[in-house]
Amino acid sequence: MNIKNKLKTLIIKNPLTLDCGKIINNYPIAYETYGTLNEKKDNAILAFHALTGDQYVAGINPVTNKNGWWSHLVGPSKGIDTNKYFVICANVIGGCMGSYGPSSIDPKTNEILGINFPVITINDMVNAQYNLLEFFKIDKLFSVVGGSMGGMQVLQFISNFPNKAKTAIPIACTANHSAQNIAFNELSRQSIMADSNWKDGNYSQLNLSPDRGLSVARMAAHITYLSKNGLQEKFGRKLQERDNLKFGFDADFQIESYLRYQGSIFVDRFDANSYLYITRAMDYFDLTKQFNGNLSNAFCQSKTKFFIISFTSDWLYPTSENKDIVIALNACGADVGFTEIVSDKGHDSFLLDVPDFLSTIKNFLNFNYSIK
């Protein structure tokens, strides 16, 4: 039996009007939880995943059999201590881990939706996940937290539901996708669509899979998650299992081999159409524009305590863009703390074992939980 049929899933009956105008209802949201919701229901943390993440934030992901994507941060006695907090994470709509997405079956035609799936936005993702609060009967979350696209969802969540979270931690993100971000995403999409197996998005019906396109997309994106120094230090010009250059186009260099490997394992767990839809949602994200050019207005209704974090070597969502969010929050007198963590691991830092990052989140959460 396909493991994906055994995921925890909530069917959302409430109709949701998407930004594109289409209304969806009776759609699935796949989710996972860690820890225990206490009696007062005041210890819940909603974690939002990034582009290629899923609901398996901690523990072992049953599909990949690898550690959850945020297992450095989330788990018993960790930065987000699941002995103490109840952590909820859901697969975004548009995703491919059980939530409503392009690989879902259209009940009308009994066919896979493919690119008949509507174009969704970060706003749509957040509105869909909000149903989890009702499901768990949580009036107010203790925190909303996420990095990269997860951070964008944190910002959108507070903007949509100003007083539904006591604290918010947007990490390594932005309030509006830059031209450079859009450019990299377009490169990835074109790579998928250039694969002859993509078949205008109908590959599943034909039992095909645009693996080469998707793996090149992943390789390109992966470079943007790392820093030049990080790459140089880890790989330099080291050769892959050979003493000399082979004067051919095999992977002579370790970095080539590494990227090829990253691309190849990615296609086993990710759907190409989901990649198109989710990158599109990121590109469309412009919270400043949603508030007519004044980002402060996204937050002026909120009493949430913000903690914004960036990383020194992150050039994809650089400190300057994170600071723009801090400036907008200050402009409306919101409660905000900000730090830039030193790390040479690039944008990926938020997923890795970066001690200052992990300990600062732990202290921030634990202190604010203690003063309820």
Partner 1 sequence: MKKEFQIIADLIKDNTRVLDVGCGDGTLMKFLEENKNIDSRGFEISKNKVQNCIGKGLSVIEGDAEKDLQQFPSSSFDYVVLSQTLQAFYNPEKVIDDLLRVSKKAIVTIPNFGFWKIRLHLLTKGTMPITKNLPNEWYNTPNLHMCSIKDFFNFCLKKNIKIVSSLALNGEKTSSINTSSLGLKNLSSELGIFLIEK
The residue within the footprint of partner 1, chosen from 217, 341, 351, 354 (CB under 8 A), is 341
For residue 179, state whether it binds partner 1 (rule: CB under 8 A).
Answer: no
For residue 194, state whether it binds partner 1 (rule: CB under 8 A).
Answer: no
Q: Which residues contact 83 (CB under 8 A, 6 or more apart)?
A: 35, 76, 77
Site string for partner 1, 246-285 (x = CB under 8 A): ----------------------------------------
Judged by CB under 8 A, the chain residues 79 through 118 that form the site for partner 1 are none
Site string for partner 1, 298-317 (x = CB under 8 A): -------x-x----------
Site string for partner 1, 10-49 (x = CB under 8 A): ----------------------------------------
Give whichever of 59 and 337 is closer to partner 1, judged by the CB atom: 337
For residue 294, state whether it binds partner 1 (rule: CB under 8 A).
Answer: no
Give whichever of 182 and 326 is closer to partner 1, judged by the CB atom: 326
Whether 314 is catalytic is: yes
177, two tokens? 């996708």
For residue 350, state whether it binds partner 1 (rule: CB under 8 A).
Answer: no
For residue 353, state whether it binds partner 1 (rule: CB under 8 A).
Answer: no
Give whichever of 282 and 308 is closer to partner 1, judged by the CB atom: 308
| Interface contacts to partner 1, rule CB under 8 A | 305, 307, 323, 326-327, 330-331, 333, 335-342, 356, 359-360, 362-364, 367-368, 371
Q: Annotated catalytic sites, by residue? A: 148, 314, 347
